[in-house]
Chains A and B, each alone.
Chain A
Amino acid sequence: GESVGLHLPTLSVQEGDNSIINCAYSNSASDYFIWYKQESGKGPQFIIDIRSNMDKRQGQRVTVLLNKTVKHLSLQIAATQPGDSAVYFCAENKENDYKLSFGAGTTVTVRA
């Protein structure tokens, strides 16, 4: 069977290692997914998005994977840096809906 990553509220990563942050979404009608990064004292900052007609999208040091079968989203950060320490949220949206539904968030701490 296929494994599904667990959502963890916290993640501690050694600097230079790769990070994987998991998210399970709830609405099978959602067709647009976004990862946000929130640093202390700031608002959520867009990292990368993916639409439901894709299963993978890459950005600079980040990759988002979408598995619609099990309603799972993951964010991979390559060569994690101290500046990557933050809370990461996944969010889902339906076409023509005006509300983002946010996940619980994962706090990533990068160890030097």
Chain B
Amino acid sequence: EAQVTQNPRYLITVTGKKLTVTCSQNMNHEYMSWYRQDPGLGLRQIYYSMNVEVTDKGDVPEGYKVSRKEKRNFPLILESPSPNQTSLYFCASWGTGDQPQHFGDGTRLSIL
């Protein structure tokens, strides 16, 4: 089954404790992206990747890092999380620029 898998689905942690949210896709897609979803602000792009070792900033990249060492994986790293990064995070992948993005089921992060 074609899917985008995020882990963990839920995480409660404390300010400053480094965390990584993993994302994996099994569709051999070139492109992957991370979004955060906040009430009243909709979905906003954090980072995206066009291929292995090629990444670029989205609209809200501050406080986040990503890496793309393999085509299927695109982890999101919060080196020093802060409470304003409490949000619902989605990973997405797609094959070309004019194809729909496929989303994972989300990771809800709470930073205390």
Q: Which residues in B have their C-beta under 8 angstroms from that of A95?
A: 97-98
Q: Which residues in A have their C-beta under 8 angstroms from that of B100?
A: 34, 46, 49
Tell me the chain A residues, 75-108 only, with Cβ under 8 Å from chain B: 89, 93, 95-100, 102-105
Q: Which residues in B have their C-beta under 8 angstroms from that of A98?
A: 31, 33, 48, 50, 56, 97
Bound: A42/B98 CA distance, A: 23
Query: B74 an interface residue at 8 Å Cβ cutoff?
Result: no
Tell me the chain A residues, 52-88 only, with Cβ under 8 Å from chain B: none
- B103–A45 touching, CB < 8 Å: yes
Bound: A49/B4 CA distance, A: 20
- A41–B102 touching, CB < 8 Å: no
What string of 1s and 0s marks CB contacts (under 8 Å) between A14-49 and chain B?
A: 000000000000000001101010000111111001
Query: A51 an interface residue at 8 Å Cβ cutoff?
Result: yes
- B97–A103 touching, CB < 8 Å: no
A-B contacts, 11 of them at CB < 8 A, read: A32-B98, A43-B4, A43-B92, A93-B97, A95-B97, A98-B31, A99-B33, A99-B48, A99-B58, A100-B33, A102-B43
B interface residues (Cβ-Cβ under 8 A, vs A): 4, 31, 33, 42-43, 45, 48, 50, 56, 58-59, 90, 92, 97-98, 100-106
A interface residues (Cβ-Cβ under 8 A, vs B): 31-32, 34, 36, 41-46, 49, 51, 89, 93, 95-100, 102-105
